[in-house]
């Protein structure tokens, strides 16, 4: 099941910016930064060891069945041998292997001998996978503009701004955004799930990427983060300006920065709404007022 099947995708995403970056680079130059995981402020982010459940003998039969279905699939074998051996003969051979006591013992022996080598290879696998992830680019957004902690941590103590992006173009990368999951413990992959997914390389890579890129500790849950992952390298990239639908100015934004934001929105994003956040005198929340542009 796709991540998007289990959680509604926001129609608008929000990005918090410090004043200099938000005003000069985003609104002024029309560019956004795609980051490499090594730049993230969470040392666990994309950097931990991939964990698998501990093996015990009770799993052997299930893993052997999966190994049979994935490795001795008649259709896959027929691709290489179909010109020599008819497909129905191959199917019968596979059936014989799975139904015979000797075949069952053979499969279990193969699986039980392969698992120690699999676990021994994990350190090198984790190292290679993390290196590959450093070649990827991630754009992080959230689903709310009035999160006080986000304003404090990512918008220079409420002196910055929030830019609202609404994907509109067919090829907008924001359509690929997926939610981050928050967990108390590092994720653990079931061996059966891993072996099943491995038969479909795209699905296998997707599951690994979700585990590494879309799982963070519970302490970060306040961010309500969504991420877009691409294979291209990190760096500064232009965005589709029509996707900017609103700009929110922090309650501590300096007057000169406020004027710069107003001028830029008027001249470069005249269709976008502009808002000013102020402190509510009676509650621990913000008042959001629309600014005429």
**157 — phi, psi (to 5°)?**
55, 45
Scanning the chain, the segments in alpha helix (DSSP H) are: 3-6, 19-20, 60-71, 74-81, 87-99, 101-120, 122-133, 148-154, 191-198, 201-213, 255-268
Give the separation between CA 224 and CA 227, rounded to whole angstroms: 10
Q: Which residues of 140-173 are buried (b: 16+ CB within 10 A; e: fewer)?
A: bbbbebebeebbeebbbebbbbbbbbbbeeeebb
Largest CA distance in the chain: 82
Question: Lowest-pLDDT range, 2-16, 187-201, 237-251?
Answer: 187-201
**What does the alpha-carbon distance between residue 22 and residue 40 come to, in Å, rounded to a whole number?**
18
Confidence of residue 4 (pLDDT cuts 50, 70, 90): very low
The tens digit of pLDDT for each residue in 115-150 reads 777 778 878 878 887 777 778 899 999 999 999 999
Residue-wise pLDDT for 155-170, tens only, equals 999 999 999 999 988 8
Q: What's the pLDDT tens digit per position in 8-49?
A: 889 999 999 999 999 999 999 999 999 987 788 888 887 777
φ, ψ (nearest 5 deg) of residue 140: -105, 130
Average pLDDT in the 204-209 region?
Answer: 72
* CA angle centred on 287, ends 286 and 288, rounded to 5°: 110
- Give me Rg for the CA atoms of the chain: 25
φ, ψ of residue 262 to 5 degrees: the values are -60, -45
Residue 274 has pLDDT above 70, yes or no: yes
Q: Which two tokens stand for residue 218?
A: 């519970």
pTM score over 0.85 = no
> CA-to-CA distance for 44 and 207, rounded, in angstroms?
18
| Calpha distance 249→129 (Å, rounded) | 39
What is the average pLDDT value for the chain, to the nearest integer?
83
**Rounded distance between C-alpha atoms, residue 121 and residue 274, angstroms:** 54
Please give the structure tokens belonging to residue 186. Answer: 């590092």
- Candidates 98, 118, 96; CA nearest to 108 is 98
What's residue 218's pLDDT? 96
Phi and psi based region of residue 158 (left: phi greater than 0; alpha: psi -120 to 50; beta: remaining): left
Residue 100: the pLDDT is: 65
For residues 65 and 210, what is the distance between their CA atoms, to the nearest angstrom?
26
Q: Domain residues of the chain, as ranges? A: 3-47+137-290, 51-131
């Amino acid at each position: 099941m796709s991540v998007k099947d289990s959680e509604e995708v926001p129609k608008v995403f929000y990005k918090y910016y410090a004043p200099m970056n938000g005003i000069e680079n985003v609104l002024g130059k029309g560019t956004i930064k795609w980051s490499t995981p090594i730049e993230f402020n969470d040392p666990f982010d994309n950097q931990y060891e991939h964990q698998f459940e501990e093996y015990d003998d009770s799993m052997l039969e299930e893993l052997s069945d999966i190994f049979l279905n994935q490795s001795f699939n008649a259709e896959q074998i027929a691709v290489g041998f179909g010109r020599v051996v008819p497909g129905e003969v191959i199917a019968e051979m596979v059936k014989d292997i799975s139904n015979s006591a000797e075949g069952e013992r053979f499969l279990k022996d193969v699986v039980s001998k392969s698992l120690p080598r699999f676990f021994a290879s994990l350190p090198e696998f984790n190292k290679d996978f993390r290196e590959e992830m450093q070649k990827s680019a991630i754009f992080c957004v959230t689903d709310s503009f009035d999160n006080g902690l986000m304003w404090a941590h990512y918008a220079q103590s409420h002196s910055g701004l929030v830019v609202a992006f609404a994907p509109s173009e067919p090829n907008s990368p924001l359509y690929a955004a997926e939610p981050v999951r928050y967990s108390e413990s590092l994720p653990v992959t079931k061996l059966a799930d891993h072996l099943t997914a491995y038969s479909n390389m795209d699905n296998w890579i997707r599951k690994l990427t979700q585990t590494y890129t879309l799982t963070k500790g519970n302490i970060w849950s306040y961010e309500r983060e969504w991420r877009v992952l691409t294979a291209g390298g990190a760096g500064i990239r232009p965005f589709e300006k029509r996707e900017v639908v609103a700009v929110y100015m922090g309650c501590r934004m300096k007057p000169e920065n406020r004027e710069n934001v107003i001028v830029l929105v008027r001249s470069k994003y005249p269709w976008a709404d502009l808002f000013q956040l102020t402190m509510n005198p009676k509650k621990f929340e913000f008042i959001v007022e629309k600014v005429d542009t």
